[in-house]
Amino acid sequence: MSRALATTTASKRSPLPADLDATRLPAHVAVIMDGNGRWASRRGLPRVMGHREGVEALKRTLRLCSDWGIGALTAYAFSTENWNRPGEEVGFLMTLFERVLARELEALEQEQVRIRFLGDLEPLPAGLRELIANATARTAHNSGIHFNVCTNYGGRAELVRAARLLAERVAAGELDPASINEDLFAAQLHTAGERDPDLLIRTSGEQRISNFLLWQLAYAELHITNVLWPDFDERALHAALLDYQGRQRRFGGVDAAGA
């Protein structure tokens, strides 16, 4: 049922759809993968089956983004609030993350994906932390797409952590508070070194940011689709990119026509 990432060989790469402009693709796409539970419930299946299918949708999206020349994909896999779900579901998700990582590492390496896990990784099960450390190290120098998996991630917690890291340096006399600017602040975030997402996709129709990348999404274009995450496919990604390419990005300024 599950297809290994490596089944995509160079000859099987999906071409960029002709109506997309390769020179105006987002360099970084972020996704809030919502609707796994509803996808399963609608089929009379346990919620966790939706997460299993959600992994397939994530692999599909990663492969397409990589094939189409998008530089980075950041996915919200587990939020700081997700610990409040029933213990059985949390346990299933942790085991699923472990299995996916163990199973896909070779393919990620082969396809030159650089994987990183963003968030507070300390509370994760030790086995998962080991797999994460291994996958991060083994793919660190890969030249392909940056794949960021936000795990035990919360935007507010990330901002508080950044403030604390800077405060510690000020208290130690290593940093002048007057030299704190946006670049220095961004360098304390889990996403340090990654450019901000240009496009945020949220599935299942919910119109919320849900504590995701609060700093980094400042100027991202938002694409909200009613598609449930496990159904997110080439057609849905294509639609999101067409929507993105139809937007005028002004970053608080005015466009060329002065509008």
Residues involved in catalysis: 34, 82
Among the listed residues 70, 72, 77, 132, the single contact to ligand FPP using CB under 6 A: 77
62 near ligand FPP, rule: CB under 6 A: no
Q: 37 vs 119, which CB is nearer to ligand FPP?
A: 37
Residues 6+ away with beta carbon under 8 Å from 101: 128, 131, 132, 135
- Which tokens sit at 48? 């966790």
36 near ligand FPP, rule: CB under 6 A: yes
197 near ligand FPP, rule: CB under 6 A: no
213 near ligand FPP, rule: CB under 6 A: no
Q: How far is the CB of 57 from ligand FPP (least distance, A)?
A: 7
Q: How far is the CB of 167 from ligand FPP (least distance, A)?
A: 32
How far apart CA 97 and CA 232 sit, in angstroms, is: 19
Residues 158-177 that bind ligand FPP (CB under 6 A): none
Residue nearest to ligand FPP (CB): 37
Q: How far is the CB of 47 from ligand FPP (least distance, A)?
A: 6
Size of the site for ligand FPP (CB under 6 A): 16
Q: Which string of x and - marks every residue 85-104 that binds ligand FPP (by CB under 6 A)?
A: ------------x--x----
38 near ligand FPP, rule: CB under 6 A: yes
Residues 26, 140, 74: CA angle, nearest 5 degrees: 30
Integer-rounded Cα radius of gyration of the chain: 19
Strands 199-202 and 221-224 turn out to be parallel
221 near ligand FPP, rule: CB under 6 A: no
Give DSSP secondary structure letters for 40-81: HHHTT--HHHHHHHHHHHHHHHHHHHHHTT--EEEEEEEEGG
- Which tokens sit at 68? 């189409």
The upper half-sphere exposure of residue 217, i.e. CA atoms within 13 Å in the direction of its Cβ, equals: 21
Q: 36 vs 225, which CB is nearer to ligand FPP?
A: 36
Sheet with 221-224, side-by-side order of all strands: 114-118, 146-153, 72-79, 28-32, 199-202, 221-224
- Which tokens sit at 121? 């990784």
The binding site for ligand FPP (CB under 6 A) comprises 33-38, 51, 54-55, 58, 77, 82, 97, 100, 149, 204
